[in-house]
Amino acid sequence: MKVLIVDDRAPDRSILRHTFQAHGCTTIEAENGREGLTLAARERPDLIISDAMMPVLDGFGFLRALKADAALRAIPFIFYSAVYTGENEEKLARSQGAEAFLVKPLEPNVLWQEVQSLLARRVGGEPVVPDEALRGEEPYLREYSHVVVAKLEEKVRELENMFLQMVRVLVNLLEAKSPWTMGHSERVAVIAVKIAREMGLDENRVNIIRLGALLHDIGKIGTCDALLDKETLLTAEEYAAVKTHPDFGADALLAIDQLKEVIPLIRYHHENYNGSGYSHHLDHAAIPLAARILSVADAYDAMTTTRPYRTLLGQEYALAELRRVAGSQLDPDVVQAFIKVLGQEEANGDEEIWRG
């Protein structure tokens, strides 16, 4: 049996080549649907096994062109793809004349058995033909768009998750510098997200705040370890050095386009509501709301965890202090939202993160 293998990934083609050759088959290979069409016309294989998503011409376009050619349409066509988001791919594949849509990876012997079973069904029977309802260009494109959208959405989720994991790697590198800050960024992120939702922010802005909270202290990578771990109060000169971390962190991330909306949170999270903060002395609405939310979450976590120069101050003290500085250091509306969230969490018995 002559098998045409069509896949843009060389390792996957190699696996298929060895699988079929181990059962006495002859194999020919193409990297995309366009090459596959050329080889199919020239070599007339007994079976085509193809990936779905490929450059130049993908598997669905390849299949559609194959079935439109009277000389080639009888060749059995099987999809073998790792990209599978639901029933849409299988439905479209079958409607266009494929024998099946198999999902990678399969053990070589299982794949061989599946192929043999599919081919056995064709013995003495008619080849699979495209669904008449989807032969027209518009119905096909409509169905195909569902497949593409599903795959794009899956890819976006994968990239978002990968990006968030990379952010957490950066945070872990920062927190490895000092045991005193371990877990600080994650806790601040949890608190800031809850405040943002309480204040009615949409999920896009909530996600920006989550990222900003995770990365808000990233500039401390450039701060001397001795200052982060110092057990006595900092001198004026040392404090001036520490105060450079918001700008240092924001500037370091400027090259990452995906963080452009996050950078203001990092740069301005130590600005005070009355303009007395650092490093740009912004006040009131000039400070982005997301940065004002982050300031409250950051302040609360700092007071309810142990630092090298003092023991933890506790929740009661922290709440009293937040109320005291509302309107001067912190945005009073954000403080009020935080207190409301805290009360809700306590009523639900979920207080662990709030007590440090």
* Gyration radius from the chain CA atoms: 30
Lowest mean pLDDT among 84-88, 202-206, 317-321, 325-329: 84-88
CB 295 within 8 A of CB 285: no
Q: What is the pLDDT of residue 133?
A: 46
Q: How far, in Å, CA of 191 to CA of 194, rounded? A: 5
- Predicted TM-score of the model (pTM): 0.61
Over residues 118-142, the pLDDT tens digits come to 888 876 555 555 555 445 556 656 6
Q: What is the pLDDT of residue 226?
A: 81
Asked if the model's pLDDT at residue 144 lies above 50, the reply is yes
Share of the chain above pLDDT 70, in %: 86
What domains can be seen in the chain, in order of their start residue? 2-143 (3.40.50.2300), 177-354 (1.10.3210.10)
Q: What is the pLDDT of residue 125?
A: 55
Q: What is the pLDDT of residue 225?
A: 78
Element (H or E) spanning 110, and its range?
helix 108-122
Place of tokens 């000389």: 71
Asked if the model's pLDDT at residue 259 lies above 50, the reply is yes
Over residues 244-257, the pLDDT tens digits come to 999 999 999 998 88
Q: How far, in Å, CA of 262 to CA of 260, rounded? A: 5
Asked if the model's pLDDT at residue 177 lies above 90, the reply is no
CB 151 within 8 A of CB 79: no
**Closest by alpha carbon to 315, among 334, 300, 331?**
300
Place of tokens 């990936």: 51
Asked if the model's pLDDT at residue 57 lies above 70, the reply is yes
Return contacts of 186-190, CB within 8 angstroms, 24+ apart.
Answer: 186/214, 187/301, 187/305, 187/353, 188/213, 188/216, 188/294, 188/297, 188/298, 188/301, 189/213, 189/214, 189/297, 190/353
Q: What is the pLDDT of residue 350?
A: 66
Q: For 300, what's the count of Cα atoms within 13 Å in the CB-facing half-sphere?
A: 32
Confidence of residue 60 (pLDDT cuts 50, 70, 90): confident
Q: Tokens at residue 123, please? A: 């013995």
Q: What is the pLDDT of residue 164?
A: 82
Query: Which amino acid, residue 14?
Result: S
**Better-scored residue on pLDDT, 175 or 188:** 188
Q: What is the mean pLDDT of residues 307-326?
A: 88
Q: What is the pLDDT of residue 37?
A: 95
Q: What is the pLDDT of residue 127?
A: 56
Q: How far, in Å, CA of 214 to CA of 309, rounded? A: 23
**Closest by alpha carbon to 212, among 312, 156, 159, 287?**
287
Q: What is the pLDDT of residue 134?
A: 46
Asked if the model's pLDDT at residue 97 lies above 80, the reply is yes
Over residues 271-315, the pLDDT tens digits come to 999 999 999 999 999 999 999 999 999 999 999 987 777 778 888
Mean pLDDT of the chain: 87
Q: What is the pLDDT of residue 297?
A: 96
**Closest by alpha carbon to 97, among 126, 64, 123?**
64
**Better-scored residue on pLDDT, 161 or 206:** 206
Confidence of residue 146 (pLDDT cuts 50, 70, 90): low
Q: Which residues are catalytic?
A: 220
Q: How far, in Å, CA of 115 to CA of 337, rounded? A: 61
